Amino acid sequence: MTSSSLLVALAICVALLSQGSQAQLCSYFYDTTCPNVSAIVRSVVQQAQSSDIRITASLTRLFFHDCFVDGCDGSVLLDSSSTIVSEKGAVPNNNSVRGFNVVDNIKTAVENACPGVVSCADILALAAEASVNLAGGPSWSVLLGRRDGTTANITGANNLPSPLDSLSTLQSKFSAVGLGDTDLVALSGAHTFGRAQCRFFSNRLYNFSGTGNPDPSLNSSYLTTLQQNCPQGGDGTTLNNLDPTTPNTFDNNYFTNLQSNRGLLQSDQELLSTSGASTASIVNSFASSQSTFFQNFVKSMINMGNISPLTGSNGEIRCDCKKVNGS
């Protein structure tokens, strides 16, 4: 089965508890109020991709950074105001997360078709699915019905899973939002496309864990390449491919890279190289079967998308994704 033909149909609503009341997300939430929303989102993402090959990875990451902070409520999109301290200024986000202009373009296109109907939180979920598929990955029916939050949480954003985290810390952070080892490995597989700045892994190249030496788990030839790209004391913002083999394609090469000790980030390589890692067998399974990875990635994206959504009368439908209504 090819990546373009892999379609996971989820027409049955997933019942969730949100803020103490029964809430539902379902794939057909906008079927009568904005039936073309998925096509609109995909069209804008595809247009952006034509001039910025990185944007699909960036939009996928933006969804991750939204959902892991108080749930998938669009809070990562909010600018600072008299009442909001933006998550954009958090250490994991500052001068790192991107794609906000594309989200604004999607919102404009959606508002032109269906004013006041589709939340920014759902736009992020749809943009992530379109991004993965346009880069060669799987497609799935996105569960919808989220509403937008009216607050931001910079403290929570500063505690996002980090490229410097140990495996046990990553597992704890995933567990805190109801996600397990398979979700951790599958969602980390999104590092099969996109870029990372030198500052997020330069410690591995020169002074790993304060030893004064490189990370011993790094492939020696890969280490040499990275040291050339990221010289000691150099510009920490230089970009490097997360996947050195197929950097713009969503495939399972991320996992085969880990098997050859070519994981760019510490948090990547630790999934396999940590002694006794419970995640190692999952990495090997995904490395041996792209379809197995795709199937599990879809499940994990849906699981992540189900983290604490605002539904019903909670939250709002923002008119502008950058600010709460009335501000």
Domain boundaries, the chain: 11-160, 167-299
- 258 CB contacts (<8 Å, ≥6 apart)? 268, 269, 271, 272, 273, 283, 287
pLDDT class of 24 with cuts at 50, 70, 90: confident
On the question of pLDDT at 6 being above 90, the answer is no
Tell me if 251 is assigned to a ligand binding site.
Answer: yes
Domain made up of 167-299: CATH architecture: Orthogonal Bundle (1.10)
CA–CA dist 320, 66 (Å, integer): 16
Position 191 scores a pLDDT of 98
% of the chain beyond a pLDDT of 90: 92
Residue 73, annotated as binding a ligand: yes
Question: According to the annotation, is 71 in a ligand binding site?
Answer: yes
Select the more confidently predicted residue: 8 or 27.
27
> Which one from 42, 61, 65, 322 is the annotated catalytic residue?
65
191 is an annotated ligand-binding site residue:
yes
pLDDT at 3: 41
CA atoms within 13 A on the CB side of 107: 22
11-160 shares its CATH topology with 167-299: no
Instruction: Provide long-range contacts, Cβ within 8 A and 24+ apart, for 156-160.
Output: 156/68, 156/69, 156/70, 156/87, 157/65, 157/69, 157/76, 157/87, 157/90, 157/92, 157/93, 158/90, 158/91, 158/92, 160/65, 160/68, 160/69, 160/90, 160/92, 160/93
Q: Residue 183, annotated ligand binder?
A: no
For 238, list phi and psi in degrees, rounded to 5: -60, 135
Q: Is the pLDDT of residue 215 over 90?
A: yes
Flag whether 87 is marked binding: yes
Question: Would the annotation count 246 as a binding residue?
Answer: yes
Is 298 assigned to a binding site? no
Whether residue 154 lies in the annotated active site: no
Residues 6+ apart with CB under 8 A from 301: 128, 129, 132, 140, 187
Is 243 known as a binding-site position?
yes
Residues 246-285: pLDDT tens digits? 999 999 999 999 999 999 999 999 999 999 999 999 999 9
Predicted confidence (pLDDT) per residue in 46-84, tens digit:
999 999 999 999 999 999 999 999 999 999 999 999 999
Q: Find out whether 237 is annotated in a ligand binding site.
A: no
**Which pLDDT does position 327 carry in this prediction?**
82
pLDDT reported for residue 212: 96
Q: Between 1.10.520.10, 1.25.40.10, 1.20.210.10, 3.40.630.30, what CATH number should domain 11-160 receive?
A: 1.10.520.10
Specify the pLDDT at position 23: 54
Alpha carbons 139 and 129: distance in angstroms, whole number:
7
pTM score: 0.92
Q: How far apart are CA 142 and CA 129, in angstroms?
A: 7
- Average pLDDT of the residues in 126-142: 99
Residue 205: predicted pLDDT: 98
